[in-house]
């Protein structure tokens, strides 16, 4: 058997979408061994449109949600992995949505999608089928990104924002990479820890403590994907874990495996995506 084909490209959306969508990633894997892909907890909501086949989720972050197959999907914030069964071939585009993106694109707070995976048709109606058709008809990654960009810009409607204190709390957790304690966060906002926790969870579906864990984990994951990957002890220190053992325990709980296992399972799909510049072609 020959080497698998692995293609991964990335792009930034148009500036007007930056508060809603952090990045686009196109991926194509052919001829790899069949297996299970772990969709890990992240500070972003997931938005995927397949270019061939379906995404077959055999285990959801919420164990009460049954398995499902999706041509296009969105998934909320979660603190346990989703397990995706594949036959060695995967082809699609993924967008990393911010919580504000859920409000603006779907008309609901991120909390309503937390720990779930939802068919995009449920959220966008006929636009979901239109988007699948447009992306599958586009001949290049650049054209696909531009098509996705155009559709998201068209459906983006200001449907309100979180309460300022709640939005500020999310911003502080993300800018501190999950390193700000809940007590300090509540003091900055001027609320009790309990009140902050209730209001925060109502908007995002996670408590501030859970969100901080996920954001710190997400930061560690990106460091492990970076060129010249640092060692685990260095990643642990840079992300605020007590030591490498603490990092490994957190990975077991949030990813379902230690980081060394994940790197072996996901290689080479965890490698950095090749950037594609679409800025010069914005309408």
CATH of the domain at 128: 2.60.120.10
pLDDT at residue 264 in the model: 85
Is 240 contained in some domain? Answer: yes
- Within a domain: 42: yes
pLDDT of residue 277: 64
Nearest Cα neighbor of 151 from 283, 27, 51 is 283
- Do 147 and 249 fall into the same domain? no
Instruction: Give residue 226's pLDDT.
Output: 82
Residue-number span of the structural domain to which 185 is assigned: 164-266
Count: domains in the chain: 2
Whether 24 and 149 map to the same domain: the answer is yes
Residues, the chain:
283
Verify that 15 and 43 share a domain, yes or no: yes
- According to the model, what pLDDT value does residue 271 have? 47
Same structural domain, 61 and 102: yes
Rounded to a whole number of angstroms, the CA Rg of the chain reads 19
My answer on whether 120 and 212 are in the same domain is: no
Same domain, 169 and 256: yes
Query: Can you name the residues that pair with 25 across neighbouring β-strands?
Result: 10, 94
Specify the pLDDT at position 266. 75
- Among candidate residues 98, 131, 159, the one where a domain is terminated: 159
**272 located within any domain:** no
Q: Specify the pTM.
A: 0.92
Give the domain CATH number at 170.
1.10.10.60
In a domain, 216, yes or no: yes
Please give the pLDDT value at position 274: 61
Amino acid 270: pLDDT: 43
Q: Encoding tokens for residue 65?
A: 């949600």
Does 86 lie in the same domain as 64? yes
> What are the phi and psi torsion angles at 6 (to 5°)?
-130, 115
Domain boundary among 159, 190, 213: 159
pLDDT, mean of each 10-residue run, the chain (283 residues):
84 96 95 91 98 96 95 97 94 97 97 98 98 98 97 94 95 96 96 97 98 97 87 95 96 95 72 57 55
Tell whether 25 is covered by a domain.
yes
Domain annotation covers residue 274: no
Q: Are residues 116 and 154 in the same domain?
A: yes
Task: Please tell me whether residues 53 and 79 are part of one structural domain.
Answer: yes
Same domain, 184 and 76: no
**Is 280 inside a domain boundary?**
no
Residue 175 lies in a domain: yes
């Amino acid at each position: 058997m020959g080497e698998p084909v692995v293609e991964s490209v990335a792009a930034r959306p148009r500036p007007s979408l930056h508060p809603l969508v952090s990045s686009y990633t196109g991926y194509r894997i052919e001829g790899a061994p069949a297996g299970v892909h772990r969709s890990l907890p992240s500070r972003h909501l997931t938005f995927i449109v397949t270019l061939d086949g379906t995404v077959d989720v055999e285990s959801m972050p919420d164990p009460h949600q049954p398995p499902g197959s999706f041509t296009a999907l969105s998934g909320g914030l979660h603190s346990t992995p989703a397990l995706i069964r594949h036959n060695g071939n995967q082809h699609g585009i993924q967008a990393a949505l911010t919580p504000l993106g859920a409000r603006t694109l779907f008309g609901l707070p991120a909390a309503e999608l937390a720990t779930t995976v939802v068919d995009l048709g449920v959220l966008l109606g006929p636009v979901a089928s239109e988007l699948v058709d447009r992306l599958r008809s586009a001949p290049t990654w650049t054209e696909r990104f531009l098509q996705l960009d155009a559709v998201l810009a068209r459906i983006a409607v200001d449907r309100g924002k979180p309460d300022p204190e709640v939005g500020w709390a999310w911003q502080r957790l993300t800018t501190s990479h999950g390193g700000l304690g809940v007590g300090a966060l509540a003091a900055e906002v001027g609320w009790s820890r309990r009140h902050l926790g209730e209001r925060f969870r109502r908007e995002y579906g996670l408590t501030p403590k859970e969100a901080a864990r996920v954001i710190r984990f997400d930061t560690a994951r990106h460091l492990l994907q970076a060129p010249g990957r640092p060692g685990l002890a260095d990643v642990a220190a840079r992300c605020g874990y007590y030591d490498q053992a603490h990092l490994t325990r957190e990975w077991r709980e949030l990813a379902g495996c230690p980081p060394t296992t994940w790197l072996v399972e996901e290689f080479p799909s965890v490698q950095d995506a090749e950037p594609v510049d679409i800025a010069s072609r914005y309408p």
